[in-house]
Amino acid sequence: MKRDFLTLRELKLEELNNLLNRAVELKGGKDASLCPLIGKSIGLLFEKASTRTRISFQIGVYQLGAQAIYLNPQEIQFGRGETIEDTARVFSRYMDGVVIRTFGHEKIEKFAKNAAIPVINGLTDLHHPCQALADLMTIKEKKGKLQGVVLAYIGDGNNVVNSLIEAASMTGISLRIACPVRYEPDEGIYKKALSEGSDVKILRSPEEAAKGADVLYTDVWVSMGQEEEAAKRKKIFKDYQLNKHILSFAKPDAVVMHCLPAHRGEEITDEAMDSPRSVVFDQAENRLHTQKALLELLVK
């Protein structure tokens, strides 16, 4: 039976832990010569621009022995009015899986409902579960555990934060989210985490969130599709910057994370981004390893 990966909760906790362990093995070179997906074809359907998601999936697919087919919606019939349902059914006759990076989450849900092959969420406006996998791997690498780690997120309550809430709920991470009023994460995702007894808090003060943190995390103030709000958002988020001042409230061995791309001088300073405490580029690399482990799990 085919399986999708639309949110982090598609995985059971045991599967998540096994996937992270497998990603560590792949990063260390174990089974580097094996090609478990040889002869397979994986589609990459991206309605949103991408650097890390596209490169990491394209290389990962190749390293697993399969071929990646990049699909620009404007170059296929999907961009000329073919329905989501019909596109999903056609893809299912040719491919063994598809990664979709799009805007509304309901679009990928509709695609998955009509596809006979695994559908992986490369990003929607509501969730970014592949990023969360790499984040968890990075935290475990640097802190040796997930349970009890204090993670402070400073900035916009966006899709990255929604997936971090699910990650925290599943693994026992204590998550502190500092964001302005009306820029909180999705209410339904947050309330579900609280109902499960998860240690997730929404705060207004970045300093309060960062106090005693093991990990400091931020993301851009203006995401794709929000460009018209850029000036407004920059004013609202001006005090939600990951900088030397905020770092001073965290533990001395706290690490700095950012899912990239970074708008240096806005949500993060050069001093924080390039400090010895920054693990931003380890985090970016780990997208490759976790996604390879995910593909091994889903594509048979």
Examine the residue annotation and report whether 35 is marked as an active-site residue of this protein: no
Determine which helix (DSSP H) or strand (DSSP E) holds 290, and give its type and residue range. helix 280-298
Question: Looking at 128, 176, 233, 258, which residue is catalytic?
Answer: 128
Examine the residue annotation and report whether 287 is marked as an active-site residue of this protein: yes
Determine which helix (DSSP H) or strand (DSSP E) holds 200, and give its type and residue range. strand 200-203
Distant-in-sequence, close-in-space partners of 130: CB < 8 Å, separation ≥ 6: 5, 53, 120, 121, 122, 123, 287, 290, 291, 294
Tokens of 77: 């019939």
Question: Looking at 259, 283, 289, 291, which residue is catalytic?
Answer: 259
Question: Looking at 127, 176, 233, 287, which residue is catalytic?
Answer: 287
Q: Where do runs of H (alpha helix) occur along 149-279?
A: 159-171, 187-195, 206-210, 230-236, 244-247, 270-273
The number of helix segments (H) and strand segments (E) in the chain equals: 12, 9
Examine the residue annotation and report whether 101 is marked as an active-site residue of this protein: yes
Query: Nearest Cα to 206, choosing from 254, 245, 158, 159?
Result: 245
Write the CA distances from 171 to 6, 12, 20, 23, 123, integer angstroms.
18, 11, 12, 17, 21
Q: Give the angle subtended at the CA of 172 by the CAs of 23 and 256, to the nearest 5°.
A: 65
Question: Looking at 22, 52, 131, 258, which residue is catalytic?
Answer: 131
Question: Looking at 22, 101, 105, 176, which residue is catalytic?
Answer: 101
Determine which helix (DSSP H) or strand (DSSP E) holds 298, and give its type and residue range. helix 280-298
Tokens of 78: 């999907």
Examine the residue annotation and report whether 259 is marked as an active-site residue of this protein: yes
Cα-flanking dihedrals φ and ψ of residue 283, to 5°? -60, -45
Write the CA distances from 203 to 111, 176, 212, 248, 296, integer angstroms.
36, 7, 15, 18, 38
Examine the residue annotation and report whether 93 is marked as an active-site residue of this protein: no
CA-to-CA distance for 217 and 154, rounded, in angstroms? 6
Examine the residue annotation and report whether 9 is marked as an active-site residue of this protein: no
Determine which helix (DSSP H) or strand (DSSP E) holds 69, and give its type and residue range. strand 67-71
Q: Kindly list the catalytic residues.
A: 101, 128, 131, 219, 259, 287
